[in-house]
Chains A and B, each alone.
Chain A
Amino acid sequence: MKILTCFLSILLFLQASAATADPVTITGKVSDSRNNPLAGVSIMLKGSSIGATTDVNGHYTVKSPQSSGTLIFTNLGYASQEVSFTEGKTAIDVTMTEIAKGLNEVIVVGYGTQRQGEITSAVASVKSENFVKGAAGDAAQLIRGKVAGLSVVTTDGNPTGTAQVNLRGIATLNASTTPLVIIDGVPGTLTSVAPEDIESIDVLKDGSAAAIYGTRGTNGVILITTRKSKGSAAPKMDLNTYFTTQRITKRLDFLSASEYRQYVQQGKPGATDYGGSTDWLKEVMQKPLSQVYNLDLRGSSENTNYIVNINYRNLNGIMQRSNNKIIYPRLEVNHSMFNGMLKLNANINGYEQNYFGFDGGGFRGDVYRNAIYLNPTQPVRNPDGTFTEHTDKTDYANPVSLLYTSDGMQQNTDLRTSGTAVLTPIRDLDIRLLVSRDLLNNLAGYSETRQNYSTLHDGKNGYAARGAQRSVEDLLEATVNYKRSIGDHTVTGLAGYSWRQNDVQSFYAQNYDFPTDDYSYNSLQSGRALSRGQGVENSYRSQNKLVGYFFRLNYSFQDKYLLATSIRREGSSKFGSNHKYGNFPAASIGWNAKQESFLIDIKTISSLKFRAGYGITGTEPSTPYLSLDRINFNTYTLINGQWIQVINPSSNANPDLRWEKKKELNIGVDIGFMNNRLTATVDYYKRTTSDLLFNYPVSTPPYLYNNITANAASMQNKGVEVQLNFAVIQGKDLTWNTQVNYSTNSNKILSLSDKHFQLASGYFDAGFLAEPIQTPTSRVQIGLPVGNFYGFKSVDIDDQGHWIILGKDGKPKPIVQAQADDKMIIGNGLPKHYLSWNNSLSYKNFDLNITMRGAFDFQILNTPRIWYDAPVMMTRGNLLKTAYDKVYGKRPLADDQSVSYVSYYIENGSYWKIDNVTLGYNLRLQTKYIKTVRVYASASNLKTFTGYKGIDPEVSILGLAPGVDNRNRYPAITSYTLGGFFTF
């Protein structure tokens, strides 16, 4: 078949050649509809390989061996034109018309790509030129505020931290609401690739788009495409580098040493002058400098192309010792064989990471917490050079000592290898096989000297820990894709098989009572605690599998009526033996109304499409083995003078564990005006999650434990998303593009029971405030949204300075008489509205990007104020300057008013942020070595407008207790970046 085609082409070519006459030279100018010259337009002589491109002034010259023929003018974003020439007509000027912008844009969807015009579900695509500029810690931060309905929140400035991502509200009770992340077809995380190595990010928002992923599609899918080598070109190198410094967004206003001393003089209970003058926060913070370098080298020949990308990040945070060093190497090679019949791709990437981490992980929040509330008159060190400590005080440690009497390292090595083979035996039939392995190794070490709190407070006499983990995720996917057009009908079919296995092995040990500090964590055997039966030894291995079969059929009639259907049947090893498999179907339709005769001539409306889709996605539990009746030997009893290990059931087994399912309806419209200078996308969705997996309260007796992982509740999220793009100014020198994204979501718990698990109350509590309060923060209740704060409603203060709260009868009562059932809903921590406004301006060689975003209509539980706006805490340490302010305009809180969770500390969280401002200058050089240079300056989290009194109103939006501003959080930061981008 193929050979026949080739033969025919050659024959035709020969025939054409036979008709030769004298050569001619055709010249002319190509311009756009506004008569601006178009550079880089490609011109081909039809039926030959002869071609040319226009120069910066739009001029071109084509030498034709024949005296007559046809020239084909093509330029991305414009309709191609064919113009014939003859001997007498060799000066040809062409005006090219822009095709409606965006319709041909390629969108990455599950297991393939589609043109924007073919899309029938809610999908958003962000290309690298539209990413948030400036420093980015992970892939999500590149698109914060860019996709309506995708909330990206950075709750702290920890250099190892990642953004919190939530799509269309909280749709699951399980802890993870992070969307599935797929990088070049292989599952990963938002930090699996360097942000600077990303070409585009596509977000599958609704069920009909995500259902092809079956499992894990519930929270949406983020498809990351790395930078590719395109076409045939000489090797090219890009260097992208930037330098960042940061400062704390806002310092909480605590008493200075001299202000504190005034309270000592007043004889406030517990106020003590230790004689020093210490700014504790200053003692543990630094002015960090971070550096990022991204170097990529690309080249290609006729059949082979490659890209080598090296990314090095040396990140430092505002807290001393907080850092993150990563190298991301990536090598991708594509090779085409047998006339394009077989395409091979190999991709080796991953990262090597090294950072200071406390025991078991990241940077410890208690460094910051202690730094804000340690007594400011306490010196950092004693005269003998040791750190000052008052270990008899609960929850009170010298933060400088925490930092410098410990040492820790976390080393991660992630090796991601994948290979793809695509066989195209006949035109439009692709048979594709993808095999990948993601191997993540972690090695950790941590130690504390005998000057550390652990020895002074807990008598450890030196402490060290070691841990290692190896987690392997293997994936095999085989798909067959076929596309066929017959007349007005276009059909695309996809069938696939997916096999995924996850295997985790880990080891962890801690020991204490060391003879010396000199070993750090490098000689665990030298401690004596383990040999006494103290300390911890732990090793674990688990494995789970997912197997899926999927099919998809897309049908299009004249590009006008579109239909997409898919189904995935997927099985997970984590479920009960009779409940392994689930089916996840989806269907969506689209109507390109613009193609209809009654609209085709209406110039103002340049595009109009209606979409509707429905899809079911699933969720499996985060841990395996929950359906098994497991036992362990984790406790002891005394028998005959010996402590023997006893057999202890591990949990309540649930052999009926099955899939959690989310059904989602999405209705959307895309409309463009003025040749798509103004486009709008509006989506409405309703997602209902049922059989929600959760660790439900269950009755004891008859169950041994009072919770069981089961499927019971259902929950609904409804919302609207609006995305507006407007090319306000499209001048020769000046352009201004603006984008507004808005989303709103309302969440409701529909039910918390099924026939096995009846929550008669219709609620359970979530979140927790630690000692000295020890109470849940939030309540999940039928008929109400997730995120409700549940506590005492303070309404007044009595003459002695004690809280007066509302009783359940609605009457005020002293807090000393408070009962648990006096608690009520006192706020909600989930923003109801998100709005962002992104602007991109360019003037000649300058460009300016400003992104602003905000969240509205929600409350924040200000836990630092609960703890430090309470005079009673003067006995422990420092207080906020406002601690003795009048409450309810009456008087300060009493010195003996215990720390309480009351509505006084619930604050309005609404905010509007100037999130990022970047000014760039682009220079096109004619030099031999450097071709283009771009330099820029950028500021992130620049200014926040809010009534919230804490550090930053951008607090957690995940889980069942969102909106709690954790007093331990690594502080939020404002960062300033200088960067350069060089093409060689």
Chain B
Amino acid sequence: MSTIKNICLVLLLASVTLPGCKGDLKEITYSDLSAQTYKYTDAYAAMGIAYANLRGLFSHSNWYMLQETSSDELVMPANSSGWEDAGIYKRIHLHTWNSENPQMINMWLQLYAGVTNCNRVLDQLDKDVIPPAAGTTKEGLIGEMKVLRAFYYWQICDNFGNAPLVNSTATELPSTAKRQEIYDFIVKDINDALPSLSENTDKLMYGRFNKWAAKALLANIYLNAEVYTGQAKWQECLAQCNDILGSPGYHLEGAYKDIFKTQNENSSEIIFAVPFDENQGQGFFVEMYSWHGAMKDKYNMQATPWGSGSAQGIPQFIDTYSSDDHRLGDTWLMGPQFKSDGVTPLKGSYDKNGQPLNFVNHLPDGLFTSETEGYRMNKFEVKTGALADLSNDFPFFRLAQVMMMKAECLLRTGHADDAAAIVTNVRNRAFADPAKATVTGAQLQGNSKYHYGYVENYNIVDPGDQSAVQFGGMLDELGYEFPWEAQRRRDDIRFGVFTKKSWLSHKPNGDYRTIFPIPQAALNSNPNLDQNDGYK
């Protein structure tokens, strides 16, 4: 018995008296911060993450290229560099995507991370954990965060239709809300917030939701309301557009290219931008997946674009342009390419190894191409010495877009000539000859110039649905003005093209494809969710 006593005594001595060897298991942090003990002092630093989150939408396998390559504007075919990424881009073009296409979960996570960040910041603002910044009010910041959350929910509503609607920091697994519910929620939240928002258009509000950016968001939601709810809201859209057009802060840029240049921040045309910076605000690198690696030498880039590039214009889309339209060259990279000296030809690297790099506007199909086929991105300036990430801000809402929304509403409500005047106004800067800039109401009301049809081996072999596109002229105008601006999918859907027409290797594959499936990974982790119709 005494032995056991001795043992215990020694153990006790060992554990108590030995220096430093405390049995306390509380974690000591050094390079990690705990939210429970951190004292919030800067409201912008706390709110900023919800804006920073927007940048993640712009990768090739996320929201941005989904908007473009599911439409009749862009395609990302496999090519002779051997690259295909297991066919995930091909399926977007073919409209054969399913819930396991990684773009679905990537977009889902990025949009809901925005929502979740907003919910947390709103909760912290509400509970006064975050003090308002100088010159702001708690109500103003809450309003701004609610509009930002509505922005994310708008894209959720637009892309997924029916999806969870979570407005708190609770961790219960949510169930699916109907598209109408999400629509009603965001419209109400934005309208409620409008009075509290800043009307300033200065540097402080750049890249954030002031009143005008919120109205541009609301106008976009109303513009597509018929798609979302079956009930058109042209007048409501018009009202928001008129408010914005009546504000003094915004003007059209004189030159189209200037909206998209490297230093485009604070452009007077931009109403809401997602700001990017090559170092601190990374996430915009469209040239990396559109351009051929040899293009490095054209701009003495530090980075080398990936492979032979992929994201490129669908020839049938390019063919709708008038050759006098400056936006053709301002938007699309075409023809022979040269080094920065302007004379030394760039060469191919794969199936055209050693041959001059000359981008041509024809594609055999949307599945597999030569390295020099297809017009590439020329819209966003790539500065000399560019890194992989660009510093060009992405103009999400700009004045021309508000004007075109207004024009479309007028057109659809029987004011074709008023609409044509606005569209002409937008076109003016793109034509040397003002006469060529002019469009008529009849043109806007007429059929699209797009030669729809299914292509094999460079030729349309199956024209598919050839019925006239209502307001097809307006759709074409949107096409000239907004390629690479992530609008085409919405426009194709609104004009009834998306699931009806054939282009390149795409054939219609079901009306339900106007919304994407709920990602399989989301369904897997939350049994309360319902898959969208058609994808079950």
CB <8 Å contact, B207 and A647: no
CB <8 Å contact, A702 and B174: yes
- Interface-lining segment among B22-30, B178-186, B428-436, B446-454: B22-30
Q: A630-B34, A639-B44 in contact; A872/B86 too (CB < 8 A)? A: no
Interface residue B14 (Cβ < 8 Å from any Cβ of A) = yes
CB <8 Å contact, A703 and B171: yes
Cβ-closest chain B residue relative to A539: B31
What is the bound-complex CA distance between A53 and B345, given in angstroms?
92
Instruction: Tell which of A460, A532, A545, A772 touches B84, judged by Cβ atoms closer than 8 Å.
Output: A772
B66 to chain A, nearest CB (A): 16
Q: A478-B11, A644-B44, A706-B109 in contact; A820/B350 too (CB < 8 A)? A: no
Cβ-closest chain B residue relative to A775: B86
**Quick one: CB contact mask for A752-792 with B, threshold 8 Å, 1 for yes?**
00000111110110000001111100000000000000000
Measured between beta carbons, the chain B residues less than 8 angstroms from A572 are 25
What is the bound-complex CA distance between A460 and B28, given in angstroms?
39
CB <8 Å contact, B304 and A702: no
A773 to chain B, nearest CB (A): 5
Interface residue B466 (Cβ < 8 Å from any Cβ of A) = no
Interface residue B425 (Cβ < 8 Å from any Cβ of A) = no
Contact residues of A between 620 and 646, Cβ < 8 Å to B: 624-625, 627-633, 635-641, 643-646
Instruction: Tell which of A431, A644, A820, A821 touches B48, judged by Cβ atoms closer than 8 Å.
Output: A644
B444 to chain A, nearest CB (A): 37
Interface size on A, residues (CB 8 A): 109
A250 to chain B, nearest CB (A): 25
Q: A476-B18, A775-B86 in contact; A392/B112 too (CB < 8 A)? A: no
Measured between beta carbons, the chain A residues less than 8 angstroms from B306 are 394
Interface residue A390 (Cβ < 8 Å from any Cβ of B) = yes
Interface residue A544 (Cβ < 8 Å from any Cβ of B) = yes
Q: A647-B49, A899-B84 in contact; A459/B109 too (CB < 8 A)? A: no
What is the bound-complex CA distance between A632 and B32, given in angstroms?
7
CB <8 Å contact, B279 and A533: yes
Instruction: Tell which of A457, A499, A901 touches B15, judged by Cβ atoms closer than 8 Å.
Output: A499
B80 to chain A, nearest CB (A): 5
Instruction: Tell which of A270, A698, A817 touches B96, judged by Cβ atoms closer than 8 Å.
Output: A817
Interface residue B442 (Cβ < 8 Å from any Cβ of A) = no
B169 to chain A, nearest CB (A): 8
Cβ-closest chain A residue relative to B525: A699
Interface residue A310 (Cβ < 8 Å from any Cβ of B) = no
Interface residue B172 (Cβ < 8 Å from any Cβ of A) = yes
Instruction: Tell which of B84, B109, B293, B520 touches A761, judged by Cβ atoms closer than 8 Å.
Output: B520
Instruction: Tell which of B84, B174, B351, B367 touches A900, judged by Cβ atoms closer than 8 Å.
Output: B84
CB <8 Å contact, B275 and A390: no
Interface residue B78 (Cβ < 8 Å from any Cβ of A) = yes
Interface residue A230 (Cβ < 8 Å from any Cβ of B) = no
Q: A625-B32, A631-B35, A760-B523 in contact; A771/B83 too (CB < 8 A)? A: yes
B316 to chain A, nearest CB (A): 21
Cβ-closest chain A residue relative to B523: A760
CB <8 Å contact, B87 and A816: yes
Measured between beta carbons, the chain B residues less than 8 angstroms from A532 are 279
Interface residue A338 (Cβ < 8 Å from any Cβ of B) = no
CB <8 Å contact, B45 and A820: no
Q: A640-B203, A702-B171, A704-B117 in contact; A647/B31 too (CB < 8 A)? A: no
**Quick one: CB contact mask for B97-116 with A, threshold 8 Å, 1 for yes?**
01111000100110011011
What is the bound-complex CA distance between A758 and B26, given in angstroms?
30
Measured between beta carbons, the chain A residues less than 8 angstroms from B34 are 628-631
CB <8 Å contact, B88 and A758: no
What is the bound-complex CA distance between A872 and B78, given in angstroms?
11
Cβ-closest chain B residue relative to A636: B280
Interface residue B307 (Cβ < 8 Å from any Cβ of A) = yes
CB <8 Å contact, A699 and B522: yes
A602 to chain B, nearest CB (A): 41
Measured between beta carbons, the chain B residues less than 8 angstroms from A493 are 7
Contact residues of B between 494 and 516, Cβ < 8 Å to A: none
Measured between beta carbons, the chain A residues less than 8 angstroms from B349 are 390, 392-393, 875
- Interface-lining segment among B295-303, B326-334, B468-476, B483-491: B295-303
CB <8 Å contact, A898 and B206: no
What is the bound-complex CA distance between A176 and B521, given in angstroms?
26
Q: A573-B25, A702-B116 in contact; A758/B525 too (CB < 8 A)? A: yes
Interface residue A927 (Cβ < 8 Å from any Cβ of B) = no
Measured between beta carbons, the chain B residues less than 8 angstroms from A705 are 109, 113
CB <8 Å contact, B11 and A480: yes
Cβ-closest chain B residue relative to A877: B82
Interface residue A346 (Cβ < 8 Å from any Cβ of B) = no
Q: A760-B527, A900-B84 in contact; A700/B45 too (CB < 8 A)? A: no
What is the bound-complex CA distance between A875 and B117, given in angstroms?
45
B interface, over-half SS? loop
CB <8 Å contact, A875 and B7: no
Interface residue A697 (Cβ < 8 Å from any Cβ of B) = yes
B451 to chain A, nearest CB (A): 24
Cβ-closest chain A residue relative to B364: A896
Measured between beta carbons, the chain B residues less than 8 angstroms from A499 are 15, 18, 21, 23
CB <8 Å contact, A630 and B32: yes
Instruction: Tell which of B33, B78, B115 touches A701, judged by Cβ atoms closer than 8 Å.
Output: B115
What is the bound-complex CA distance between A425 and B28, given in angstroms?
40
Measured between beta carbons, the chain A residues less than 8 angstroms from B46 are 646-647
Measured between beta carbons, the chain B residues less than 8 angstroms from A431 are 6-7, 10
CB <8 Å contact, A700 and B116: yes
Measured between beta carbons, the chain B residues less than 8 angstroms from A270 are 80, 350-351, 353
Most chain A CB atoms below 10 A, which of B20, B28, B87: B87
Cβ-closest chain A residue relative to B36: A629
Most chain B CB atoms below 10 A, which of A393, A541, A638, A643: A638
**Quick one: CB contact mask for A540-553 with B, threshold 8 Å, 1 for yes?**
11111101010000
Measured between beta carbons, the chain A residues less than 8 angstroms from B482 are none
What is the bound-complex CA distance between A429 and B9, given in angstroms?
14
Measured between beta carbons, the chain A residues less than 8 angstroms from B44 are 637, 639, 644, 646
Instruction: Tell which of A495, A699, A704, A900 touches B113, judged by Cβ atoms closer than 8 Å.
Output: A704
Cβ-closest chain A residue relative to B164: A701
Q: A394-B81, A772-B81, A899-B84 in contact; A643/B281 too (CB < 8 A)? A: yes
CB <8 Å contact, A901 and B30: no
Measured between beta carbons, the chain A residues less than 8 angstroms from B113 are 700, 704-705
CB <8 Å contact, A393 and B293: yes
What is the bound-complex CA distance between A899 and B81, given in angstroms?
10
Q: A636-B277, A644-B44, A875-B351 in contact; A497/B96 too (CB < 8 A)? A: no
B107 to chain A, nearest CB (A): 12
Interface residue B396 (Cβ < 8 Å from any Cβ of A) = no
Instruction: Tell which of B82, B105, B208 touches A873, judged by Cβ atoms closer than 8 Å.
Output: B82
CB <8 Å contact, B173 and A482: no
What is the bound-complex CA distance between A454 and B7, given in angstroms?
63
Interface residue B360 (Cβ < 8 Å from any Cβ of A) = no
**Quick one: CB contact mask for B285-324 with A, threshold 8 Å, 1 for yes?**
0000000111010000111101100000000000000000
What is the bound-complex CA distance between A562 and B173, given in angstroms?
53
Q: A644-B48, A704-B117 in contact; A573/B11 too (CB < 8 A)? A: no
Instruction: Tell which of B21, B108, B302, B368 touches A459, judged by Cβ atoms closer than 8 Å.
Output: B302
Cβ-closest chain B residue relative to A540: B31
What is the bound-complex CA distance between A575 and B164, given in angstroms?
32
Interface residue A571 (Cβ < 8 Å from any Cβ of B) = yes
Q: A637-B48, A697-B525 in contact; A391/B304 too (CB < 8 A)? A: yes
Measured between beta carbons, the chain B residues less than 8 angstroms from A480 are 6-7, 10-11
Considering the complex of A and B, which 10 residue pairs feature the smallest CB-CB distances, nearest first? A459-B302, A820-B100, A646-B48, A898-B84, A637-B48, A478-B14, A392-B293, A541-B30, A875-B350, A772-B83
CB pairs A–B below 8 angstroms (15 shown): A433-B14, A476-B21, A497-B14, A532-B279, A545-B25, A630-B34, A631-B38, A646-B44, A647-B40, A700-B113, A760-B524, A775-B85, A816-B367, A819-B96, A820-B98
Having A625-B27, A772-B81, A772-B82, one finds 9 other A-B pairs with CB under 8 Å, namely A544-B27, A625-B29, A628-B36, A700-B112, A706-B105, A771-B85, A819-B91, A872-B80, A875-B82
